Amino acid sequence: MRNTAFSICQRLQNAGYEAVFAGGAVRDMLLGHLPDDIDIATNAKPEEIENIFEKSFSIGKHFGVVIIVENEHHFEIATFRSDSGYSDGRRPDAVMFTNMQQDALRRDFTINALFWDPISEKLFDFGGGQDDLKNKILRFVGNPSERIQEDFLRIMRAIRFKNRFSCSYHIQTQEALSQYAFCISKVSGERIRSEIEKMILHPSRVEALQDLQNFGILEQILPEVSQLSKTVDADGTRTVSEHTLACLATLPENISKIVAWSVLFHDIGKAKTFHHDADRNRFPLHQDVSEELFLKIASRLQFSRLERNTIAWLIKNHIRMYTLLQMKKSHQLQFFDHPFFPWLIEVCRADALGHDGNASLVEKIEQEYRFAESERLLPQFSSDLLNGLEIQEILQIPAGKKVGQIKALVREAQISGNLLQKNQAVEFVKNISEHII
């Protein structure tokens, strides 16, 4: 990818334009990391970029942004610009194409306001970003108040970058975050969800969530999570929030977003179901209330239908997991066979480790699951021995509730390993039919 980006800059420069790597890619390169993508900035206008590159797509000519495709990679090329007026707290009211320095001054943080010319190997730093990166300081470019009012999501981006790069807030940056924290309520749920997701997928997730809480931001965007800091957990030695953070801390670096979200929300119903008994605090059916609260959050933050349904199932079933080995074998196998079950293992592992550091029960269940899967014992690997029509014919009865009940019993016996052949199933049906009302 980097070689292709180099080639793109070379072609733009050969055509007489400036062309440099911009923003996060330069920051990551200075840190010794391979950037996930490389954005390119230039003084060429969108129409001029399109004339140079055959495979180009304008996604925002008004903002000077063109996408080009080279060697199966997509690159965003943006014309140097300055902005004025952000009446909606997100998009500039007016855009003026300008030069590299002016473009740097409109960016959010100094560590993101860097440019690198890959041809001459020259760094352009108009805001002290290189020093801030070296000294691990997160600082807004220019006036922090102006930067925040240009896009209120920068409040959350500041927290994410500070923790992702193990920085400290510059004093003016911290003061501005405290002053404008309330403005996060003006940001769309979809953008908030995206920013939180980036936080919880990074190993610095715990510190980022703590910062959201300390600045009063969490209370505005996820009050259901924020209030867990006021709810004492079962043993009374810590809050539910502390337990949740301990669970999140156990997640591996490359965890799926489904698992990360589920762990964050798995106990949000405890605040509403808190009940103090003589020996300990209890939270009857908190998993059901947690699911209900999450569905409201999912609507507010615009989760996809698949994400909503998957996370809701994981939240609702995380307590059921701990009674799994007490179930009938057929019920265990049916539970194992659920498409979301592998994720449930990860959620419950984090829950157990965050509770007392002991996930032996979850490990045992996982072993049982892996064995059933490898031996093809799961229901997905075997078709029904008898269908409803066959049961009707054997017993000479019409379609109805009784047929469904008998079919379910046959299936349970089959999954348990008690019925292996169709003739066995026929005899089983004849023997139990008179006991079914």
Query: Which residue's entry shows tokens 């059916």?
Result: 285
- Please check whether residues 362 and 410 belong to one and the same domain: no
Quick one: pLDDT at residue 84? 56
| Bridge partners for 297 per DSSP | none
Give 86-128 pLDDT, tens digit per residue: 555 555 556 788 899 999 998 999 999 999 999 999 999 999 9
Task: Encode burial over 240-259: b for 16+ CB neighbours within 10 A, e otherwise.
Answer: bbebbbbbbebbeeebeebb
Give 159-207 pLDDT, tens digit per residue: 999 999 999 999 999 999 999 999 999 999 999 999 999 999 999 999 9
- Please check whether residues 266 and 371 belong to one and the same domain: yes
Measured distance CA(34)–CA(28) in Å, rounded? 7
Quick one: which of 192, 185, 159 has its CA closest to 303?
A: 192
What's the pLDDT band for 432 if we cut at 50, 70, 90? confident
- Does an H or E element contain 346, and which? helix 341-356
Quick one: pLDDT at residue 76? 87
Quick one: pLDDT at residue 429? 80
How does DSSP assign 55-80, residue by residue?
Answer: SEEEEEGGGTEEEEEETTEEEEEEE-
At 28, which CATH number? Answer: 3.30.460.10
At 347, which CATH number? Answer: 1.10.3210
- Range in 92-96, 337-341, 362-366 with the lowest mean pLDDT: 92-96
What's the pLDDT band for 347 if we cut at 50, 70, 90? very high
Quick one: pLDDT at residue 93? 58
Note whether 311 and 347 are within 8 A (CB).
Answer: no
Quick one: pLDDT at residue 417? 66
pLDDT of 412 over the 90 cut: no
Domain for residue 215, yes or no?
no
Domain for residue 108, yes or no?
yes
Query: Which residue's entry shows tokens 């920051």?
Result: 27
Measured distance CA(9)–CA(20) in Å, rounded? 6
Measured distance CA(136)–CA(162) in Å, rounded? 8
What's the pLDDT band for 348 if we cut at 50, 70, 90? very high
If you average pLDDT over residues 54-67, what whole number do you get? 75
- Please check whether residues 289 and 409 belong to one and the same domain: no
Question: Which of the two residues, 135 and 413, has the higher pLDDT score?
Answer: 135
- Does an H or E element contain 137, and which? strand 137-138
Quick one: pLDDT at residue 56? 72
Quick one: pLDDT at residue 203? 96
Quick one: which of 70, 52, 61, 43 has its CA closest to 124?
A: 43
If you average pLDDT over residues 129-134, what whole number do you get? 96
Domain for residue 147, yes or no?
no
**Which of 132, 161, 196 is the last residue in one of the domains?**
132
pLDDT of 16 over the 70 cut: yes
- Please check whether residues 1 and 122 belong to one and the same domain: yes
Domain that holds residue 351: 226-381
Quick one: which of 84, 68, 137 has its CA closest to 109?
A: 137
DSSP 418: S
Measured distance CA(9)–CA(4) in Å, rounded? 9
Measured distance CA(291)–CA(285) in Å, rounded? 10
Measured distance CA(98)–CA(115) in Å, rounded? 15
Measured distance CA(336)–CA(401) in Å, rounded? 27
Query: Crossing angle of helices 189-200/205-214, nearest 10°?
Result: 130
Domain for residue 244, yes or no?
yes
Domain for residue 183, yes or no?
no
- Please check whether residues 373 and 395 belong to one and the same domain: no
pLDDT of 232 over the 80 cut: yes
pLDDT of 47 over the 80 cut: yes
Cα angle 51, 54, 57; round to 5: 85
Note whether 315 and 261 are within 8 A (CB).
Answer: no
- Does an H or E element contain 148, and which? helix 144-150
Domain for residue 331, yes or no?
yes
- Please check whether residues 233 and 377 belong to one and the same domain: yes
Domain for residue 179, yes or no?
no
**Which of 381, 398, 413 is the last residue in one of the domains?**
381
If you average pLDDT over residues 40-52, what whole number do you get? 89
Quick one: pLDDT at residue 267? 95
- Please check whether residues 372 and 279 belong to one and the same domain: yes
Residue 32 CA to its chain's centroid (Å): 26
- Range in 126-130, 250-254, 276-280, 286-290 with the lowest mean pLDDT: 276-280
CB count within 10 Å of CB 133 equals: 22
pLDDT of 61 over the 70 cut: no
Collapsing DSSP to helix, strand or coil, 151 comes out as coil
The conformational region for residue 67 under phi > 0 = left, psi -120 to 50 = alpha, else beta, is: beta
User: If you average pLDDT over every residue of the chain, what do you get?
Assistant: 88
- Please check whether residues 317 and 421 belong to one and the same domain: no
- Please check whether residues 323 and 413 belong to one and the same domain: no
- Please check whether residues 396 and 296 belong to one and the same domain: no
pLDDT of 303 over the 90 cut: yes
- Range in 62-71, 87-96, 331-340, 403-412 with the lowest mean pLDDT: 87-96
C-alpha torsion angle, residues 49, 52, 56, 61 (rounded to 10): 20
Give 220-230 pLDDT, tens digit per residue: 999 999 999 99
If you average pLDDT over residues 240-254, what whole number do you get? 95
What's the farthest any 2 CA atoms get from each other in the chain? 90
**Which of 132, 166, 201 is the last residue in one of the domains?**
132
Percent of the chain, pLDDT > 90?
Answer: 59
- Please check whether residues 247 and 361 belong to one and the same domain: yes
Question: Which of the two residues, 181 and 432, has the higher pLDDT score?
Answer: 181
Domain for residue 155, yes or no?
no
Quick one: pLDDT at residue 411? 74
Overall domain count for the chain: 3
- Please check whether residues 357 and 422 belong to one and the same domain: no
- Does an H or E element contain 96, and which? strand 94-97
